[in-house]
Structure 1
Amino acid sequence: MSNPLLEPFEAPFETAPFDQIKPEHFLPAIKKSIEIAKAEIAAITQNEEAPTFANTIEALERGGRLSGIVAGVFFNLNSAETNDKIQKLAREISPLLTEYHNDILLDEKLFEKIKTVYEQKSQYDLTPEAATLLEKTYKSFVRNGAGLNDEDKTKLREIDKKMSQLSLEFGEHLLKETNEYMMVLEDEAELEGMPESSKEAAAALAEEKGKKGAWVVTLDYPSYVPFMTYCSNRARREELYKVFASRGYKGDANDNREIVKQIVQLRQQRANLLGYKTHAHFVLEERMAESPVKVTDFLKELLDYSKPVAKKDVEEVTAYAKKLDGIEKLERWDFAYYSEKLKKEKYAIDDELLKPYFKLENVIDGVFEVAQILYGISFKENKDIPVYHKDVKAYEVLDAAGKHKAVFYADFFPRAGKRAGAWMTSYRGQFKEDGKNVRPHVSIVCNFTKPTATKPSLLTFNEVTTLFHEFGHALHGMLAEGVYSSLSGTHVYWDFVELPSQIMENWAYEKECLDLFARHYETGEKIPEDLITRIKDSANFMEGYQTLRQLSFGLLDMGWHGTDTSAIDDVYAYEKELIKETELFPEVPGMLSSTAFAHIFQGGYSSGYYSYKWAEVLDADAFEYFKEKGIFNKEVSDLFQKHVLSAGGSEHPMELYKRFRGKEPSPKALLKRAGLISE
């Protein structure tokens, strides 16, 4: 059987041939690509010449490229367009890849050669990027068990194998529970308060699920969030909230409690085996934050500033709910509903007022225009590039001279095979080799409100900032100019990776930017200036509460990974203890975050959730520089492109940041922007 994954990709720009790939191609392609990669490693270890930077470090960097591409296509589809076949394959493929990576990292001959080069590094005249590659390569082997004895290496392999399986199971349970649930409403009165567009979407969803004539609400964000925000039916809000907030914690086949315990205990064992106190100590050694103490101090400092403001936020909403509807005790399922009503009363603004100005296609054009003004790149849809689902669009990205820069995929709507949330990923990274600059293939995946029979996809302002956020990550990938793919684009310290994404959100609040694209989808009228003023005025509405919520996730993550968790039995009791300082509502038994916390148990954020707040410090400080000079100032955008977006992980992020900004970042810019301090 010919296998498109093992043939040269003939599609435009060597993009993945999604139109030819079938599930049955993956396992043989993974096995064959691992075989090829092992032969490439053997060529390094069996080379009788003395180890050098070129024949060892650079050769290793080039090795395994095919397996990386095949695995990238597979796991991206497992997140964005999965099915039972793909999930079954993931359970077979994941251990194979774990085993293969361990074979490399635990190869004694290979490590000896790397160690020799590392110990002789003073003899080489290395560029800063090459020196970073050598340091990173050596450390990754040491940090993954190269120095262990044979018995401990076997233990490490077993742990890694189990962890990869458990992580897959965690995600499968979450997706299954999300897909299986639907709230069917037979009476339109039960949707009172819902905007017409949301009702229409609920009716379309009902038809799709064979419940014609009814309305269906699911746990997907575009369905869940509007219901919790606008539906006046308190009992139904409570019902939906309790199902959502107990995902993975219902004592059924999708329960994730045991998986959570096993994952954290295996991470703890792995860290101990490698000589680290906890998983967080292991992870943070390679982060800007450096240690669990520093992260916890950082989170607690923000907690000190935000908690008094958050308390006032909740008190204000509580008083408002009592005045409006006689609610004596504000519950968690009331907060979004009454805070939205209060926001509308205070600022004469809400999502329904704004959505007509944020037609998805216009927002995409807007973000493309921002990229063109700042970085000189343009986007052209190319229908010859194969895509993996009819909703996905592919674009060719061109530089200012009209030369090919990247391929960009955009995938915006929820579906059964796609996990919740929004993310950026890539199918091919950027690197330079043999005089050729190999350009990247980058994708952003979101879950926005779908068009209906009568309306296009109209985004909430939160969805607009999400699109800008993910596009910021995409720019980091598309504008990469590294020599080595493992240091290129988003391959940076985890607590630096959110800077390019979070800084992009700032433009969405600026008149100069909104004037480029925010037009009423029916009349073409520009967004009125007073609405932009209200967006800015309301930007910090409930910011104390939102900050506290983010900090609770950061503290939860550090609690699971920064202390010895081997004796923990009760996931619920442990979580409640960890986040008690951030709780402002009465406890609702049966509600749990950990069992649905995909970022840390399925994604790569374990011991790294704090990085959202850490990067906010960087992005507030960096955007202050843009504001000083002008948000479209070419001098500042050139500096940001050169030292942040194009530089990738070529050097330590603080050095790159200081080159852009001229100084270290100050948390004051964030606290000021968030309204947590006055000046």
Structure 2
Amino acid sequence: MTDAPAFNPLLAPSPLPYGVPDYAAIEPAHYLPAFEAAFAAHRAEVEAIASRDEEPTFENTLLALEEAGGQLERVILAFYTVSSADATPEIQAIDEQLAPLMAAHTDAIQLDGRLYARIRALHERLDDLDLDAESRRLVERHFREMTHAGAALDDSAKSRLTALNRRLSELTTQFEKNLLADTNELAVAFDDVTELDGLTEGELSAAAEAARERGLEGKWLVTLTLFSGHPYLAQLTSRASRERIMAASRARASRGDAHDNSAVLLEIVRLRAERAELLGYASHAAYITADQTAGTPEAVQSLLRQLAVPAARNAQAEKAALQRLIDATEPEPYPLEAHDWAFWTEKVRSAEYDIDAAALRPWFEAERVLQDGVFRAANLLYGLTFRERADIPAYHPDTRTFEIFNEDGSALGLYVLDLYTRDTKRGGAWMNSIVKQSALRGTQPVVVNNLNVPKPAAGSPTLLTLDQVTTLFHEFGHALHGLFATVTYPHFAATAVHRDFVEFPSQVNEMWILWPEVLAEYAVHHETGEPLPTDVVERLRATETFNQGFATSEYLAAAWLDQAWHSLSRAEADAVTDVDAFEAAALADIGLDEPAVPPRYSSTYFAHVFSGGYSAGYYSYIWAEVLDADTVEWFRENGGLTRANGDRFRQRLLGVGGAKDPLEAYRDFRGRDAEITPLLTRRGLTA
């Protein structure tokens, strides 16, 4: 690697509260030496466990394993927070070097036959160990995860598996690097402000600021979002401008240049299929779902097909309505295309519900949404209070840090908000932990929410769209999950639950957006102080199933592409050479091949599954929404936003982290399994 600096702040206890990394003292040159030292320390700790002569006990094996690796976890969380949110060229270079090293280190532990034998021995006599529920689950999960990772394979198979994992780590890192570079390169510059007619003063200010930062003085730059399309498509009156933005979005990482992800993703698919075969599974999807609540890809695909038929039907009805409006109002009518959908949808919304989504933004000033919306809902439901801590800096000047207190005044943890987009931040929105809670390690949680809201010029207010308000509430739901999880063992900390359950708490938190006691406080005009009119609120509620044919179809199309790629056997994956042709065939198979409704993510920019943690798992959002919609019904039936309801949800679901089977936790909270009817009703998918 590199020679270690004389003092490395990553390897010393942080002087900051809650153990927040001292980012002001951390330089890029510190990261690789810190990883090198932390890898070595962790390997030594695991070696001491695996090489013991004594009979395996819970204390000398599982407890010792949980006590190991604390230094490495601190370095990992510190670095990957930055590599996703502030990936400078130096950080990207480190990430590329680090990816295969991380894979090799993980394999060295997960595939250690001696360690596996000790854990298997404990698992075989689990009923004789007299363990509490969390400790018992720890044995079960370590055994299940090591078996799933390939610890039971012979040495030859393990060698090939290690090589596959190493190469896959390199490829997924390259995919993200290509996507970030091409997303930045394809940002759309406009020479004349009239081309952006329809945008608000704040949005134009943000576009001018983005152009200025790129050295494009006197121009306006529209940076791209992670998903297909762009929020501005709903407002821009110029069809040519809409078309340019959509074309740039759909072209990302697929232009045959150095940033093209086609070959990268095809190799990822092939190697994942080979790895699944090596591990005894028919496909990568079968391998992934085997350790999720879904259980099998057939269960996932059955749900997706069940929803696709009514979603496609509704999308066609919506398309016909939009086309009728174009034909009736345009001097020279044209056939509706993907870049037109959002614009004409807003026309229909305005005509049918008298709602102009863009005109709502003055009521959604970011600071008020945060303080009087997101934080207030958490106060009413859970008794939380928030205090900004300017004395605890995070990793970038745009970040803000808040200390959170329970109702009794005890400190819960820290919340870091990183609201604005920048060229060094990957697209989308997410939550991650910087420090995870663990009674064993004596740590309290520090969580981060990242969004990608365009930053207006200094002095201008940040006005959010309703979609961005939804995203902030959603990501804060993840944050609450990470903050509330109260466990003994690090293995179960924060959001360490099955992937197809992790979206459940975040989606539930969206329900408070239009809840009367919350909305009345945050939806206030930033200039006049007037509340959002009651009749507008009622019309917003009436539109909850509006355009759901499109929204459900674009999501299901992406989820199906993920399943299609990852349901291939090794032989089938080897035979695929054309990304576009494969996509077209997959979408036709499920009946979602409508050009006016493209997938939310096409393959070459589908970061969730080709560089993130959602491979064969993008279905998780709709899978978890079954639980979410059923939970919303429970809250409505039981009085809504009350402290008693909050305590029940916190204690029985959010607070257990990964220490309990998630569906058992759900049944404990709800009193039964979830029913699908509330989801079908919410999305307008009933007959």
TM-score range, shorter chain: over 0.9
Query: Are positions 1:481 and 2:486 aligned together?
Result: yes
Q: Offset at 1:675?
A: 2.3
**Corresponding position of 2:3:** none
Query: Are positions 1:387 and 2:383 aligned together?
Result: no
**Corresponding position of 2:335:** 329
**Corresponding position of 1:349:** 355
Q: How does 1:402-413 map to 2 (within 5 A)?
A: 402-413=409-420
Structure 2: tracts of 5 or more residues without a match? 1-5
Query: Are positions 1:234 and 2:242 aligned together?
Result: no
Could you say if the C-alpha distance between residues 382 and 101 of structure 1 is closer, same or farther in structure 2, counting changes exceeding 3 Å?
same
Query: Are positions 1:677 and 2:683 aligned together?
Result: no
**Corresponding position of 2:639:** 630
Which SS does the other structure have where 1:396 is aligned? Answer: strand
Q: Offset at 1:586?
A: 4.1
Deviates more, 1:495-504 or 1:381-390: 381-390
Query: Are positions 1:419 and 2:409 aligned together?
Result: no
Mapped to 1, the partners of 2:598 and 2:212 lie a distance apart of 34
The answer to whether the Cα contact below 8 Å between 1:4 and 1:17 also exists between their aligned partners in 2 is: yes
Query: Are positions 1:286 and 2:295 aligned together?
Result: no
Task: State the aligned residue count.
Answer: 676
Aligned to 1:361, which of 364, 367, 370? Answer: 367
Query: Are positions 1:573 and 2:581 aligned together?
Result: yes
Mapped to 1, the partners of 2:312 and 2:241 lie a distance apart of 30
Query: Are positions 1:609 and 2:615 aligned together?
Result: no
Mapped to 1, the partners of 2:167 and 2:363 lie a distance apart of 48
Identity of aligned residues (%): 38
Query: Are positions 1:639 and 2:648 aligned together?
Result: yes
Aligned to 1:452, which of 457, 464, 468? Answer: 457
**Corresponding position of 1:661:** 670
**Corresponding position of 2:466:** 461
Mapped to 2, the partners of 1:573 and 1:592 lie a distance apart of 16
Q: Offset at 1:212?
A: 2.2
Which SS does the other structure have where 1:10 is aligned? Answer: coil
Cα deviation, 1:66-99, whole Å, max 9, x if unaligned, reads: 1121012112211100111111111111111111
Q: How does 1:131-146 map to 2 (within 5 A)?
A: 131-146=136-151
Deviates more, 1:147-156 or 1:217-226: 217-226
Mapped to 1, the partners of 2:636 and 2:201 lie a distance apart of 38
Mapped to 1, the partners of 2:433 and 2:463 lie a distance apart of 27
Q: How does 1:83-482 map to 2 (within 5 A)?
A: 83-220=88-225, 225-325=230-330, 326-365=332-371, 366-433=373-440, 437-453=442-458, 455-482=460-487
Mapped to 2, the partners of 1:590 and 1:486 lie a distance apart of 35
The one-letter code sitting in structure 2 at the alignment partner of 1:341 is K
Aligned to 2:627, which of 618, 625, 649? Answer: 618
Mapped to 1, the partners of 2:407 and 2:223 lie a distance apart of 44
The answer to whether the Cα contact below 8 Å between 1:572 and 1:592 also exists between their aligned partners in 2 is: no
**Corresponding position of 2:503:** 498
Q: Offset at 1:375?
A: 1.0
Mapped to 2, the partners of 1:96 and 1:444 lie a distance apart of 27
Q: Offset at 1:573?
A: 0.5
Q: Offset at 1:453?
A: 4.4
Deviates more, 1:627-636 or 1:597-606: 627-636
Cα deviation, 1:499-548, whole Å, max 9, x if unaligned, reads: 10001111102222201222111122222211211211122210111101
Which SS does the other structure have where 1:412 is aligned? Answer: strand
The answer to whether the Cα contact below 8 Å between 2:230 and 2:246 also exists between their aligned partners in 1 is: no
Mapped to 1, the partners of 2:314 and 2:599 lie a distance apart of 28
The one-letter code sitting in structure 1 at the alignment partner of 2:200 is P
Could you say if the C-alpha distance between residues 226 and 499 of structure 1 is closer, same or farther in structure 2, counting changes exceeding 3 Å?
closer
Q: Offset at 1:221?
A: 6.5
The one-letter code sitting in structure 2 at the alignment partner of 1:622 is T
Q: Offset at 1:224?
A: 6.7
The answer to whether the Cα contact below 8 Å between 1:222 and 1:447 also exists between their aligned partners in 2 is: no
Structure 1: tracts of 5 or more residues without a match? none
Cα deviation, 1:544-577, whole Å, max 9, x if unaligned, reads: 1110111101111110112222321111101111
Mapped to 2, the partners of 1:235 and 1:654 lie a distance apart of 49
Q: Offset at 1:270?
A: 0.7
Q: Offset at 1:144?
A: 1.3
CA-based RMSD of the aligned residues comes to 1.9
Which SS does the other structure have where 1:409 is aligned? Answer: strand
Could you say if the C-alpha distance between residues 491 and 483 of structure 1 is closer, same or farther in structure 2, counting changes exceeding 3 Å?
same
Q: Offset at 1:590?
A: 14
Query: Are positions 1:8 and 2:17 aligned together?
Result: no
Which SS does the other structure have where 2:452 is aligned? Answer: coil
Q: How does 1:510-589 map to 2 (within 5 A)?
A: 510-564=515-569, 565-580=573-588, 581-583=590-592, 585-586=594-595
Which SS does the other structure have where 1:646 is aligned? Answer: helix
The one-letter code sitting in structure 1 at the alignment partner of 2:305 is K
The answer to whether the Cα contact below 8 Å between 2:322 and 2:348 also exists between their aligned partners in 1 is: yes
The one-letter code sitting in structure 2 at the alignment partner of 1:145 is G
The answer to whether the Cα contact below 8 Å between 1:278 and 1:563 also exists between their aligned partners in 2 is: yes
The answer to whether the Cα contact below 8 Å between 2:96 and 2:170 also exists between their aligned partners in 1 is: yes
The one-letter code sitting in structure 2 at the alignment partner of 1:572 is D
TM-score, structure 1 as length reference: 0.97
Could you say if the C-alpha distance between residues 590 and 371 of structure 1 is closer, same or farther in structure 2, counting changes exceeding 3 Å?
closer
Mapped to 2, the partners of 1:582 and 1:82 lie a distance apart of 39
The one-letter code sitting in structure 2 at the alignment partner of 1:28 is P
TM-score, structure 2 as length reference: 0.95
Q: Offset at 1:587?
A: 8.1
Which SS does the other structure have where 2:417 is aligned? Answer: strand
Q: Offset at 1:48?
A: 2.5
Mapped to 2, the partners of 1:545 and 1:41 lie a distance apart of 51
Deviates more, 1:269-278 or 1:626-635: 626-635
Could you say if the C-alpha distance between residues 337 and 582 of structure 1 is closer, same or farther in structure 2, counting changes exceeding 3 Å?
farther
The answer to whether the Cα contact below 8 Å between 1:469 and 1:502 also exists between their aligned partners in 2 is: yes
Which SS does the other structure have where 2:152 is aligned? Answer: coil
Could you say if the C-alpha distance between residues 298 and 182 of structure 1 is closer, same or farther in structure 2, counting changes exceeding 3 Å?
closer
Deviates more, 1:666-675 or 1:253-262: 666-675
Q: Offset at 1:487?
A: 1.3
The answer to whether the Cα contact below 8 Å between 1:511 and 1:532 also exists between their aligned partners in 2 is: no
The one-letter code sitting in structure 2 at the alignment partner of 1:358 is F
